A and B are shown apart, each in its own frame.
Chain A
């Protein structure tokens, strides 16, 4: 696991996944706990931890590690640092 990938760390912790989970394995269809309620909480958590606001259209796309990473990158978030505490 890339220890300096704060998003990977956050998603692994949020969904209580194995610590060796690879980024490409993190997608909504593959994670049973990623239901609609968890989606709402994940948006709240991402907004809080990275101090960003997602637009409604963007939220629809936040369905995998890759998509979340892209959305955060567009907002200028550097994911190689720990999320803002």
Chain B
């Protein structure tokens, strides 16, 4: 199985087959053939257009077709721009206006052979004193590239590759014996790269060093390197292209949010209902240590914000007893956002869990040792990702190690809070059932704060634009650079809403972007509410705040569009409910207007605060 199988799941079968064959045969010819098929697909299947600029100290031009192939599989419609070979700073120093266009993402690929060639021949270059100085210069170069990028292309995500040890060099023993040797030099440069990424500002790391270590020397080709300064074998090109695509993919494709997990033979070895709690295998000896490691991985996933759902065909009392009495259990009963422990088919329980969480099943991933359960779920819920291909515990663990379905470039405070928020959400739902809705909403003590969109909250807004599927009127997936450009337009209105209630702080949960148009008109570009805040009148509060700003700006008319997707039926009638007039339905969607602008009250159960602008 290829890690990208789930990327290409919506492509027609012949295209999937061509891609799979190309990867399995490691054939550049077949990669080309698959790329032609990919390029012939409908735009809707191909995904969003993305412009990737690559600056490199080595020659990536020959492998552009392979990179295009991998990025097309994401899926996306890639446009690759290459900067001049080994001339990174000169290119970055150009203002955005002088370039072919502002890319959606910039990638810098470098290696020690060009960045610090002296490190391969240290004794010819004043080892150790002079080498210390040269290593310092190389780390300063990393900082310089980042600061130049920030100056000229602020807001465009920058990916820096780490540098790998060269596949071939003499004296590997000596290279590791001194802090000014090759190994330490590579380590120091990479440490600087990790440091600048930690500082934030849209700098991310493509860890080529780790990739190269995993691949081994089969990824490189010294002949091609000397021939064309292109260092990769055919196998290396394909693996590198997929590695690059996987690195960029979180910018454009939302990660999965939920992992649904089986219990017996997965979280522990054995079947609790048959073997008894005392005979379950979980601990520090084989094979219990594999199940323990699986639990460690799941605890870590939950800590990163992935919701865990427990699905088990068992008596709940048996399962509960094992959770309470097994001394090495790492996962706790309440770590699961939803538990379905009964004898119902798992596909039914998955649907119920999705409904309870308010999430689509295309946010779900499934891990189960049973071939039968996996196959049934595969057939009945095709949008689900099945994580493992085998019920062997070690294979399940490997699946957790290797999967990219939870890939993210950062874990925000909001992500880390998510499992608790969903627990709270369930508590809210429970309270909601206790009385009438108005009384319930009043009891939540909801406070909303409206703030402008700016540097302080831009990352969260871009993440929301990229991930929100259900309450999203237009599903515009703007990049950071695009949102920044919108904010800079005079007359634009860009608002976010922060929510708090008696259960805790929910953070930023809603956003609205409106762009000016001639004739004292604004057009709603994006209007979205996070699924964790649905049903509380947040959209009414944000709409009300937007109308107030519009009136202050002497706006006479508001135009809006509802673009239907598979996921956003929940807002199909929103603009009707908000009192806009439906004017037309065309290829883009349903068009509305509000003329003149009339203020609307904020829902009575929400206390609204205003901040001027987030900086």
Partner-B contacts on A (CB < 8 A):
10, 13-14, 16, 36-37, 40-41, 43-45, 47-49, 53-56, 59, 85
B22 to chain A, nearest CB (A): 11
A53 interface neighbour in B29, B32, B36, B223, Cβ under 8 Å: B223
A10-B61 contact given A40-B228, A40-B230, A48-B234, CB 8 Å threshold: no
B227 close to A (CB within 8 Å): yes
B25 close to A (CB within 8 Å): yes
B226 in contact with A44 (CB, 8 Å):
no
Chain B interface residue number, banded: 20 to 34
The contact sample of 5 A-B pairs, CB cut-off 8 A, is A14-B32, A16-B36, A37-B62, A59-B223, A85-B24
Within 8 A of A (CB), among B8-63: 24-30, 32-33, 36, 61-63
* CB-based nearest B residue for A60: B227
A68 to chain B, nearest CB (A): 14
A13-B29 contact given A45-B234, A48-B233, A48-B234, CB 8 Å threshold: yes
Known: A16-B32, A49-B27. 4 other contacts (CB 8 A): A13-B29, A40-B228, A45-B29, A56-B227
Task: A38 to B446: give the CA distance in the assembly, Å.
Answer: 63
A14 in contact with B223 (CB, 8 Å):
no
B29 in contact with A43 (CB, 8 Å):
no
B150 close to A (CB within 8 Å): no
Question: Max chain B CB contacts within 10 Å: which of A13, A16, A45, A48?
Answer: A48
B224 close to A (CB within 8 Å): yes
Q: Within 8 Å CB of B221, what residues of A? A: 44, 47
A43 in contact with B25 (CB, 8 Å):
no
A41 in contact with B28 (CB, 8 Å):
yes
Task: A37 to B62: give the CA distance in the assembly, Å.
Answer: 5
B227 to chain A, nearest CB (A): 6
Q: Within 8 Å CB of A44, what residues of B? A: 28, 62, 221, 224, 232-234, 237
Task: A56 to B223: give the CA distance in the assembly, Å.
Answer: 7
A85 interface neighbour in B25, B230, B233, Cβ under 8 Å: B25
Q: Within 8 Å CB of B226, what residues of A? A: 56
A47-B233 contact given A13-B29, A13-B33, CB 8 Å threshold: yes
* CB-based nearest A residue for B64: A37
B62 interface neighbour in A10, A41, A56, A59, Cβ under 8 Å: A41
A59 in contact with B227 (CB, 8 Å):
yes
B234 in contact with A47 (CB, 8 Å):
yes
B223 interface neighbour in A16, A41, A45, A54, Cβ under 8 Å: A54
Partner-A contacts on B (CB < 8 A):
24-30, 32-33, 36, 61-63, 65, 221, 223-224, 226-228, 230, 232-235, 237
B33 to chain A, nearest CB (A): 7
Give 7 nearest A-B pairs by CB, closest first: A48-B234, A40-B62, A44-B234, A40-B228, A45-B28, A13-B29, A85-B25
Q: Within 8 Å CB of A40, what residues of B? A: 62, 224, 227-228, 230
B27 interface neighbour in A37, A48, A53, A59, Cβ under 8 Å: A48
A7 to chain B, nearest CB (A): 12
* CB-based nearest A residue for B26: A48
* CB-based nearest B residue for A12: B29
Task: A81 to B553: give the CA distance in the assembly, Å.
Answer: 75
Q: Within 8 Å CB of B232, what residues of A? A: 44
* CB-based nearest B residue for A58: B223
Task: A53 to B235: give the CA distance in the assembly, Å.
Answer: 14
Task: A49 to B221: give the CA distance in the assembly, Å.
Answer: 14
B235 interface neighbour in A37, A48, A56, Cβ under 8 Å: A48
Question: Max chain A CB contacts within 10 Å: which of B24, B223, B226, B235?
Answer: B223
* CB-based nearest B residue for A44: B234
Q: Within 8 Å CB of A37, what residues of B? A: 61-62
Question: Max chain A CB contacts within 10 Å: which of B25, B29, B61?
Answer: B29
Q: Within 8 Å CB of A49, what residues of B? A: 27, 234
Task: A54 to B224: give the CA distance in the assembly, Å.
Answer: 10
Task: A13 to B29: give the CA distance in the assembly, Å.
Answer: 6
B388 to chain A, nearest CB (A): 26
B28 interface neighbour in A48, A56, A59, Cβ under 8 Å: A48
Q: Within 8 Å CB of B224, what residues of A? A: 40, 43-44
Task: A45 to B235: give the CA distance in the assembly, Å.
Answer: 9
Q: Within 8 Å CB of B29, what residues of A? A: 10, 13-14, 45
Q: Within 8 Å CB of A43, what residues of B? A: 223-224, 227
* CB-based nearest A residue for B25: A85
Task: A16 to B32: give the CA distance in the assembly, Å.
Answer: 9
* CB-based nearest B residue for A59: B227
Q: Within 8 Å CB of A45, what residues of B? A: 27-29, 234
B73 to chain A, nearest CB (A): 19
Q: Within 8 Å CB of A48, what residues of B? A: 26-28, 233-235
Task: A40 to B234: give the CA distance in the assembly, Å.
Answer: 10
* CB-based nearest A residue for B61: A37
Task: A7 to B503: give the CA distance in the assembly, Å.
Answer: 69
B19 to chain A, nearest CB (A): 15
Task: A49 to B27: give the CA distance in the assembly, Å.
Answer: 7
Task: A59 to B28: give the CA distance in the assembly, Å.
Answer: 18
B565 to chain A, nearest CB (A): 36
B461 to chain A, nearest CB (A): 41
Question: Max chain B CB contacts within 10 Å: which of A16, A44, A48?
Answer: A44
Q: Within 8 Å CB of A47, what residues of B? A: 221, 223, 233-234
Q: Within 8 Å CB of B25, what residues of A? A: 85
Task: A16 to B234: give the CA distance in the assembly, Å.
Answer: 18
* CB-based nearest A residue for B30: A13
* CB-based nearest A residue for B63: A41
B34 to chain A, nearest CB (A): 12
* CB-based nearest B residue for A84: B25
Task: A42 to B388: give the CA distance in the assembly, Å.
Answer: 36
* CB-based nearest A residue for B229: A40
Q: Within 8 Å CB of B24, what residues of A? A: 85
Q: Within 8 Å CB of B234, what residues of A? A: 44-45, 47-49
Q: Within 8 Å CB of A16, what residues of B? A: 32, 36
Task: A10 to B31: give the CA distance in the assembly, Å.
Answer: 12
A63 to chain B, nearest CB (A): 14
* CB-based nearest B residue for A82: B25
B387 to chain A, nearest CB (A): 28
A8 to chain B, nearest CB (A): 12
Task: A37 to B63: give the CA distance in the assembly, Å.
Answer: 9
Task: A14 to B27: give the CA distance in the assembly, Å.
Answer: 10
